[in-house]
Structure 1
Amino acid sequence: MTPVTTQQSPTGAAAYAEPGGFRQRLLDGLAAAIEADGYRNTTVADIVRGARTSRRTFYEHFDSKEACFVALLTDANTEMIRRISAAVDQRARWAVQVRQAVVAWIACAESQPAITLSWIRDVPSLGAAARDLQRDVMSAFVTMIQTLCDTEQWHAVRTEPVSEQLALMLLGGLRELIATTVENGGRVSDLTEVAVRASIALLGPPPAES
């Protein structure tokens, strides 16, 4: 699943006073460094410089650059799920809800292309940490899809709930579609119509038996 912009952190004295303020500043520092130089070329020194803090503060919050990266992507995907869920009007027709969700998904992916590309290229290099991250993120997105499809509008067209397997097929397809497009330098927004059609085909009413 593709990551999005992290929440803006306070600046100045307020950032120091707020609980978790240093952590957010470090995540923002990593995001800025990835945008400038890529994850692999980023160092802890780059992160703390962007966060305007110290190595000591960094290691009070994270064991390593990799741990900071996992935290950044975890928070970003949590925010992505929040934004997609908020974009869907559960009173609208089910096909409209699909479009709303896909449009929000693509907007999130496009909001920070460097982070999206880093998710595609760099997460596999994290080993066990990557497997845990990908499992947790996919589980959260499966839950989101099942929740969005568990409404009156959806029950009118589906006689059974969306299974985990079906949700995973949808997630995997969207992820690979976005990954291929980003790696080839394309615009993710150009995928909107095909992503909507594919999602409707997977999540809509089953085909009539012949």
Structure 2
Amino acid sequence: MTTVTTTSTVADDAGSGFRRRLLDALATCIAQDGYRATTVADIVRVARTSRRTFYEHFSGKEACYVALLSDANAEMIRRISSAVNPKADWETQIRQAVGAWIAASESAPALTVSWIRDLPSLGSAARELQRDMTDAFVTMIQRLCDTEELRAAGVGPLPRQLAILLIGGLRELLATTVEDGGNIGEVSELAVRASIALLGPRSATP
């Protein structure tokens, strides 16, 4: 079967490539100088493209930032979900999930801190994204806890409030570790033990 490449397809592919370059450039700028100090000029310089190309994809720096965090959040959820073996015992499943969470955060520590520190202070679109991202993590955690092994152990199904406690605790731990000059990997075991203690078997739903 012959695949026909149209002018529209080529343009779409090129547009997707420029979008990715701009997002990667913003991530690089955040790692180097932080989100607040980064300008559109910085982004296009690192991406080696033009302002015109930037504004063909994003209305401004904030829109680019929201897109970057949205993509990163979706990728983190994918990595965590794929790391868990639903047939393993409950402690192993939690260890696998938290380990993948730590590894994903460790791969981009500056972005992890920016997500927690910079996003809440931005506009309504950013606040909406923050809620959507938290909801996506809650859904993921509840789904991962709703397996035969975890239900049998008394871990699942997981109340939303407990999932939110886990998300908030892990995020703050990772952010303060980076801000204090530490390595995210250094708190991996602590994060795993705390998560096991929080999510462990319970006789009644809180």
Summarize the alignment of residues 1-150 of structure 1 with structure 2, pairs less than 5 Å apart.
Answer: 17-18=13-14, 20-150=16-146
CA RMSD of aligned residues (A): 2.0
Residues 30-55 of structure 1: CA deviation (Å, up to 9, x unaligned): 11111222211211111112222211
How does the TM-score come out when normalised to structure 1?
A: 0.86
Give the Cα–Cα distance (whole angstroms) in 1 for the partners of residues 144 and 54 of structure 2.
38
Give the Cα–Cα distance (whole angstroms) in 1 for the partners of residues 134 and 37 of structure 2.
27
Runs of 4+ in structure 1 displaced over 4 angstroms? Answer: none
Equivalent residue pairs, number: 195
Residue 98 of structure 1, CA deviation = 0.6
Q: 2:174 aligns with which of 158, 164, 178?
A: 178
Unaligned runs of 5+ in 1: 1-13
- Contact 1:15/1:22 (<8 A) preserved: no
1:153 aligns with 2:146: no
Distance 1:88 1:158, change over 3 A: same
Residue matched to 1:10? none
- Contact 2:86/2:149 (<8 A) preserved: yes
Structure 1 range deviating more: 158-167 or 172-181? 158-167
What is the percent sequence identity of the aligned residues?
67
Residue 136 of structure 1, CA deviation = 0.6
Residues 1-56 of structure 1: CA deviation (Å, up to 9, x unaligned): xxxxxxxxxxxxx9984452211111011111112222112111111122222111
Residue matched to 2:192? 196
Residue 202 of structure 1, CA deviation = 2.1
Distance 1:122 1:86, change over 3 A: same
Residue matched to 1:5? none
Give the Cα–Cα distance (whole angstroms) in 2 for the partners of residues 42 and 15 of structure 1.
29
| Secondary structure in structure 2 of the residue aligned to 1:20 | helix
2:71 counterpart letter in structure 1: D
Residue 180 of structure 1, CA deviation = 1.5
Residue 65 of structure 1, CA deviation = 0.2
Give the Cα–Cα distance (whole angstroms) in 2 for the partners of residues 88 and 18 of structure 1.
35
Structure 1 range deviating more: 117-126 or 172-181? 117-126
1:32 counterpart letter in structure 2: T
1:164 aligns with 2:160: yes
| Secondary structure in structure 1 of the residue aligned to 2:201 | coil
- Contact 1:106/1:188 (<8 A) preserved: yes
2:126 counterpart letter in structure 1: A
